[in-house]
Amino acid sequence: MDSRLFKVPAVEIVVRDTKWAEEKGIVSYLRLSLCLPYPILLVPVVCGYIDSDGYNPTRTLSQFLEIHYKGAPQKDAQPLVFVGKGITFDAGGISLKPRAGMKLIRGDMGGAASVISAALAFAKLQLPVSLAVRTPLMLMENIPGPSAAKPGDIVYAMNGKSVEVDNTDAEGRLVLSDTIYASTEYKPHTRIDVATLTGQTRNSAMDSALGEIYTGVFSSWDELWEQLHEAGDHEFDRFWRMPLNED
């Protein structure tokens, strides 16, 4: 995969494998995406293909996708960073979701799709900014399996913090926590994480809170929130700020 995918200049695409993630210490991601016949918590989607020996069902994808768009005039300009969640099917793992409407959970890759689409728009419009997109290209499914994680398991994140798994349907925050932390190496001026928040109901947690008109936003930066709010009203793609404080 390279810049020919976009057919636009100033774009670099890098696909990172699990060996790279191990070297970087992205450990909670690795804990959730080990490429084993029955990986822990996240079971890789089997990408069957035809080769000279016939059908081969063993090819799996568990990778980080990076997209770099270098449109800023200054080569050393601080980038804007997008992080997106890309789980292709989230049944909840051992903490299984209710069956009603479960087919809709294929949309749990919506965050990754959004940031990749935004990167394509940046590049095609040739915006004068530098952008780094990092998303776990998690062509994976969170479903029950013989080696699935169990409530009570302990996972260690990239920053050294230990995390107890209470609900295996909360896999996204573990993977994204490492991805967000790893993106600090870019020294971004702004970092935006886009992800679905599905929960244990037919509707997503954000749908339950806000309905289908608004997108929920957690932001620690008032100026960024104001810009998002203004842009959302202008395009009728509205945002609603959610509480974010120590309480």
Phi (first) and psi of residue 43, to 5 degrees: -95, 120
Residue 98 CB contacts under 8 Å (≥ 6 apart), including other chains: 200, 201, 202
Which residue in the list 16, 97, 134, 191 is annotated as catalytic?
97
Which residue in the list 173, 187, 202, 241 is annotated as catalytic?
173
Beta strands in the chain (DSSP E): 11-16, 42-44, 49-51, 54-56, 63-70, 80-84, 89-90, 130-137, 140-142, 154-156, 162-164, 190-194, 215-217, 239-241
Instruction: Give catalytic status of residue 103 as yes or no.
Output: no
Residues in the chain: 247
Instruction: Give catalytic status of residue 150 as yes or no.
Output: no
Identify the CA nearest to 131 among candidates 116, 114, 145, 150: 116
Q: Which residues are catalytic?
A: 97, 173
